[in-house]
C-alpha cells in the first residue's frame, strides 16, 4: 500500500523512506538486491527488516522475481520460512512509483557468516540446522514449489539457532502440465544439482535436496564442497567426489552432448565422506551420502530424510 513516509539517508547518500509505524534503527546491508535496514515496528512491538528495492520496473526479469517472491512469502506460513509482514511504496510517488519496500522478520545472521566464522559448530548444531532446513523444505515442497537457490547465505539464523529460509526470487511452482519445462540457469553454481548443469528439460524437488547436501558438507568442512569456477569445472569436482555415474544413472539426461561429456570424464570411485570429514557422526555421513547422489530418482527425499 501507499503510505506517508519519512526520509533518511543511509550508507552515505542512499535514500530510504520509512512510514511512521517503523522506527529506523540502522542500515544493515546493501547490494544488487537493494538496501536493508533494521527497524522497530512500533505497532507490533517487534524488530523487523525493511528492504528497499530500487527502480523495480527497470528490469523485467528482476521485477518478475520480486513479485514471485512476495506472492510466495505471503502464501507460506511456517516457522522455518521467513515471513513477509508488509509491503509499501512512498505515498508521494503515487501510481508512478519506482521503489518498493518489503518488511520481513529480522534475523541476526546467516549460515554463510556462521560457517566463515571461528565459532565452533557441534554435531548438535549441524543436526539442528539441517533438521530445520528440511522442515522448511517439506512445507515449501508440499505447495509444489521448488526453491532452486538454496545456499548458506539464504538461510537466516538468530541467537537461539532458530533458522528461516529466505530469498524465493528464483522459486517456481512445479507444474506437471507445463510443457515448457523449467529454466536451466538457476541456483548459485556451487549448490547446483547435476541435472540442472546438464540442461535436463525437467527436474524435480530433488534439486533442493542436492543443495542441502552441499550445505551439510559445508557445515562439516567449513568450506564449499564443490567450488567450481565454471560449469565444466563444477561437474569435474562433482564426479571427483561422488564418482562417475553409470549408464543407468545417465538415462535422465536427454542431451546427447551432455551424456558424451560425462562419458568422457575419467572413471573415479565414489569418495568416502567419512575420510573427508573424520570424526563426523555416522548418521550425518549417511545422510550426506544419500543426498549427494547423481541420479535424482535415487536421491533421498525430504520425507525420508526427516
Q: Is the pLDDT of residue 244 over 50?
A: yes
Instruction: Give dist(CA 134, CA 70) in Å, integer.
Output: 22
Q: Is the pLDDT of residue 94 over 80?
A: no
Which CATH number covers residue 80? 3.30.200.20
Q: Choose the catalytic residue: 149, 167, 208, 249.
A: 149
Of 227, 163, 242, 243, residue with least CA distance to 190: 227
Q: Distances from the Cα of 5 to the Cαs of 35, 160, 253, in angstroms?
A: 16, 33, 53
Which CATH number covers residue 283? 1.10.510.10
Q: Is 268 within any annotated ligand binding site?
A: no
Q: Tell me the pLDDT band of 177, cut-offs 50, 70 and 90.
A: low
* Boundaries of domain holding 142: 109-305
Instruction: Give dist(CA 186, CA 175) in Å, integer.
Output: 17
Edge-first strand order for the sheet with 155-157 is: 109-110, 155-157, 163-165
Same structural domain, 213 and 197? yes
Same structural domain, 31 and 122? no
Instruction: Give dist(CA 103, CA 41) in Å, integer.
Output: 10
Judge whether 241 and 228 are in contact, CB under 8 Å: no
Q: Distances from the Cα of 48 to the Cαs of 10, 36, 168, in angstroms?
A: 17, 10, 18
Instruction: Give dist(CA 301, CA 134) in Å, integer.
Output: 10
Same structural domain, 275 and 187? yes
22-64 pLDDT, tens digit per residue, is 999 999 988 777 899 999 999 999 999 999 998 899 989 889 9
Same structural domain, 97 and 183? no
Same structural domain, 124 and 252? yes
Whether residue 297 lies in the annotated active site: no
Instruction: Give dist(CA 108, CA 295) in Å, integer.
Output: 36
Mean pLDDT for the chain overall: 90
Look at residues 68, 83, 105 and tell me which one is the last residue of a structural domain: 105
Same structural domain, 13 and 128? no
Same structural domain, 68 and 159? no
Look at residues 56, 73, 105 and tell me which one is the last residue of a structural domain: 105
**Set of cell numbers at residue 109:** 545472521
Q: What is the model's pLDDT at position 13? A: 78
Q: Distances from the Cα of 114 to the Cαs of 49, 52, 80, 303, in angstroms?
A: 19, 25, 17, 27
Counted domains in the chain: 2
* Stretch 228-242: mean pLDDT: 94
Same structural domain, 78 and 41? yes
132-147 pLDDT, tens digit per residue, is 999 999 999 999 999 9
Same structural domain, 124 and 228? yes
The residue among 269 and 211 whose pLDDT is bigger is: 211
Same structural domain, 80 and 121? no
In percent, the amount of the chain with pLDDT more than 90 equals 69
Look at residues 105, 134, 159 and tell me which one is the last residue of a structural domain: 105
Amino acid at each position: 500500500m501507499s503510505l506517508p513516509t519519512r526520509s533518511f539517508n543511509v550508507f552515505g547518500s542512499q535514500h530510504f523512506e520509512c512510514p511512521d509505524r517503523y522506527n529506523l534503527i540502522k542500515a544493515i546491508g546493501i547490494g544488487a538486491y537493494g538496501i536493508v535496514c533494521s527497524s522497530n515496528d512500533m505497532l507490533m512491538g517487534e524488530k523487523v527488516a525493511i528492504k528497499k528495492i530500487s527502480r523495480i520496473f527497470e528490469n523485467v526479469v528482476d521485477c518478475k522475481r520480486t513479485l514471485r517472491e512476495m506472492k510466495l512469502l505471503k502464501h507460506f506460513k511456517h516457522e522455518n520460512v521467513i515471513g513477509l509482514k508488509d509491503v509499501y511504496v512512498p505515498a508521494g510517488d503515487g501510481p508512478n512509483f519506482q521503489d518498493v519496500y518489503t518488511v520481513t522478520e529480522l534475523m541476526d545472521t546467516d549460515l554463510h557468516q556462521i560457517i566463515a566464522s571461528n565459532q565452533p559448530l557441534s554435531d548438535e548444531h549441524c543436526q539442528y540446522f539441517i533438521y530445520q532446513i528440511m522442515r522448511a523444505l517439506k512445507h515449501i515442497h508440499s505447495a509444489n514449489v521448488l526453491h532452486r537457490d538454496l545456499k548458506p547465505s539464504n538461510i537466516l539464523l538468530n541467537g537461539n539457532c532458530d533458522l528461516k529460509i529466505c530469498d524465493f526470487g528464483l522459486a517456481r511452482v512445479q507444474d506437471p502440465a507445463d510443457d515448457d519445462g523449467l529454466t536451466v540457469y538457476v541456483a548459485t553454481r556451487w549448490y547446483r544439482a547435476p541435472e540442472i548443469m546438464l540442461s535436463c528439460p525437467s527436474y524435480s524437488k530433488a534439486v533442493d535436496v542436492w543443495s542441502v547436501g552441499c550445505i551439510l558438507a559445508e557445515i562439516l568442512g567449513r568450506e564449499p564442497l564443490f567450488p567450481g569456477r565454471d560449469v565444466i569445472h563444477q561437474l569435474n569436482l562433482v564426479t571427483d567426489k561422488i564418482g562417475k555415474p553409470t549408464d543407468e544413472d545417465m538415462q535422465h539426461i536427454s542431451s546427447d552432448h551432455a551424456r558424451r561429456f560425462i562419458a568422457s570424464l575419467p572413471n573415479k570411485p565414489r569418495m568416502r565422506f567419512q575420510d573427508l570429514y573424520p570424526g563426523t557422526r555416522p548418521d550425518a555421513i549417511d545422510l550426506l551420502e544419500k543426498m549427494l547422489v547423481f541420479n535424482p530418482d535415487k536421491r533421498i527425499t525430504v520425507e525420508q530424510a526427516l
